[in-house]
Amino acid sequence: MEHLKPNAANNAPLTPLGFIERAATVYGDSASIIYNQTGFTWAETYRQCVKLASSLNELGIGRRDVVSVLAPNVPALYELHFAVPMAGAVLNTINTRLDARTVSVLLRHCEAKLVFVDCLLKQLAVEALALFPDNHQKPELVLVTDEYESEEANSLGGLFSERYEDLVGRGDAGFAWLMPETESDPIVLNYSSGTTSAPKGVVHSHRGTFIGTVDSLIDWSVPKQPVYLWTLPMFHANGWTHTWGMAAVGGVNVCVRKFDAAAIYHLIEKHDVTHMSGAPVVLNMVSSFTDARPLKRRVNVMTAGAPPPAAVLLRTESLGFVVSHGYGLTETAGHVVTCAWKPEWNQLPASERARLKARQGVRTLGVTKLDVVNPATFASVVRDGATTGEIVLRGGSLMLGYFKDEDATAKAIQNSWLFTGDVGVMHADGYLEIKDRSKDVIISGGENISSVEVESVLYTHQAVSEAAVVARPDGFWGETPCAFLILKTGLAKRPSEKEVMEYCRERMPHYMVPKTVAFMEELPKTSTGKVKKFVLREMARKIGKSKQSRL
């Protein structure tokens, strides 16, 4: 069979864009998006995306141009996941919780040509562009409006050149949208942690997102036409690929701008929700709600981030939620490791089931290889559940690399492995468990916080001599930043814990602000002067327990 080779018929590029075209054919009259009192069908959503891609093309947006979005989980953000790459461009969804300075840095780094801005985030975008250097080309802004817009937001203002609705309205429904030239063409650019000082833009290909999306659907056993409640921000790694995944299975996207526990229960009952996702903080939210009641039908929940506490898992599942635990990075597109459940585990006590479910698990079907290795030798660690090493991955859904950062890409991808920076152990049964994060990333409510960045701000305080930041376990957020400080001698006035927090709040996104500040005479250090963060983490854990005991 040596003469048989790939041909023009079987060598078409893999892309998730075909999912929505198929959905319009198979599920055309079925609901695609529900948002407040508004609803769309898959035929209508596909038509909207094609028309928007047409208008982007008319504006001069083309292949490999970056189009950014600042928006919560509204229909426009969902549609842009298809419309932007349909125009050949690269989608960049920005975390709406960032401050103007950080947003400005990201927009300049990614060289965005166009930015779609939700009406309630208009001021953030305007402030971000105001921080551009005078000689730097500013992107055009497109205003996305809905019933929440105020009279002020209704005005386009000098920087807003278009409205989302107008772009869709004048688009060509017969536009021949662009397939990628190769399946390695970029489709999205997502920023990982470290954005305020050294942006790390993760680039994913059409092929990678196709593989990651299908892999996630299979691993989570998502059926056709589920009802998916968007409690997970779409700007977080494109909603863990569920943006494209819901089109693949003709699901219903229940979009919600903001939510709390009461809203979640209300929407679940109103729309017969079957699936939702979120960080462990969402599990804590629904399980600790004072008016929580057992669900009428089970709801499948995918969670990831900091491992969910066993007690939270028990409470959540007792209400009728079926929790699946996954692990992934911005660099992996979606989940690449999940705690695949074994039937025999159902016979174990509830506490043991929760402990097993809190482990990260095994590689998903779309991942070629998962291992825990000695980063110096690349040798696999002993599978004893105790010997630690760095978690490494290999597979088709992994990133192409970091945008404009060859050094960081080369450091992350070595010996055909993606080095995650996470430290874990491999159990005898082949299941992975994370033990620590070598990059000192704190995961709070699903947000990645670089401890180094928080420390850099603390060091600018005139009273601070030394600073070290670690994760403190938190019953609600999973983890929160805990700052250990040494103050300068001879101060006329020592700052209080509250004053330090206020100082940080003025200089960084609020979710990054330390929730705990401890003053010390000296920091524990090694003989070479390196701070022993493992000692501080243990101190932070004790602080967490003492605080929780007083609540």
Q: Which residue has the tokens 């390695």?
A: 184
Nearest to 119 by CA among 78, 151, 80: 151
Q: What is the DSSP letter of 50?
A: H
- Whether 28 is covered by a domain: the verdict is no
Q: How confident is the model at residue 192 (pLDDT cuts 50, 70, 90)?
A: confident
- Whether 126 is covered by a domain: the verdict is yes
Q: Domain residues for 166?
A: 42-171
Written as one letter, the residue type at 325 is: H
Mark whether 229 and 297 lie in a shared domain: yes
- Whether 190 is covered by a domain: the verdict is no
Mark whether 428 and 487 lie in a shared domain: no
Number of H helices and E strands in the chain, helices first, is 18, 27
Beta strands in 260-359 (DSSP E): 275-278, 299-303, 321-328, 335-338
- Whether 36 is covered by a domain: the verdict is no
Mark whether 392 and 289 lie in a shared domain: yes
Mark whether 383 and 416 lie in a shared domain: yes
Phi, psi of 120 (to 5 degrees): -85, 0
Mark whether 243 and 146 lie in a shared domain: no
Q: How confident is the model at residue 466 (pLDDT cuts 50, 70, 90)?
A: confident
Sheet with strand 90-93: strands edge to edge: 160-163, 140-144, 114-118, 66-70, 90-93, 186-191, 201-205, 401-402
Q: What is the pLDDT of residues 66-98, one digit of tens each?
A: 999 999 999 999 999 999 999 999 999 999 989
Mark whether 353 and 409 lie in a shared domain: yes
Mean pLDDT, range 50-68, rounded to an integer: 97
Q: How confident is the model at residue 436 (pLDDT cuts 50, 70, 90)?
A: low
Mark whether 160 and 227 lie in a shared domain: no
Q: What is the pLDDT of residues 242-283, one digit of tens each?
A: 999 999 999 999 999 999 999 999 999 999 999 999 988 888
CATH no. for residue 263? 3.40.50.12780
In SS3 terms, 161-191 reads as EEEHHHHHHCCCCCCCCCCCCCCCCEEEEEE
**Last-in-domain residue among 437, 459, 482:** 437
- Whether 321 is covered by a domain: the verdict is yes
pLDDT confidence of residue 155: 55
- Whether 260 is covered by a domain: the verdict is yes
pLDDT confidence of residue 359: 83
How many Å apart are CA 282 and CA 280, to the nearest integer? 5
Domains: count for the chain: 3
pLDDT confidence of residue 313: 83
Mark whether 325 and 456 lie in a shared domain: no
The DSSP element (H or E) to which 426 belongs, if any, is strand 417-426
Q: What is the pLDDT of residues 116-137, one digit of tens each?
A: 999 999 999 999 999 999 989 9
Considering just the CA atoms, what is the radius of gyration of the chain in Å?
A: 24
Mark whether 385 and 476 lie in a shared domain: no
Q: What is the DSSP letter of 332?
A: G
- Whether 536 is covered by a domain: the verdict is yes
pLDDT confidence of residue 434: 83
Mark whether 455 and 406 lie in a shared domain: no
**Last-in-domain residue among 141, 156, 171:** 171
Mark whether 524 and 502 lie in a shared domain: yes
pLDDT confidence of residue 194: 47
Q: What is the pLDDT of residues 208-251, one digit of tens each?
A: 999 999 999 999 999 999 999 999 999 999 999 999 999 999 99
Mark whether 227 and 103 lie in a shared domain: no
CATH no. for residue 71? 3.40.50.980
**Last-in-domain residue among 171, 200, 231:** 171
pLDDT confidence of residue 548: 37
- Whether 207 is covered by a domain: the verdict is no
Q: Are 44 and 32 in contact (CB under 8 A)?
A: yes
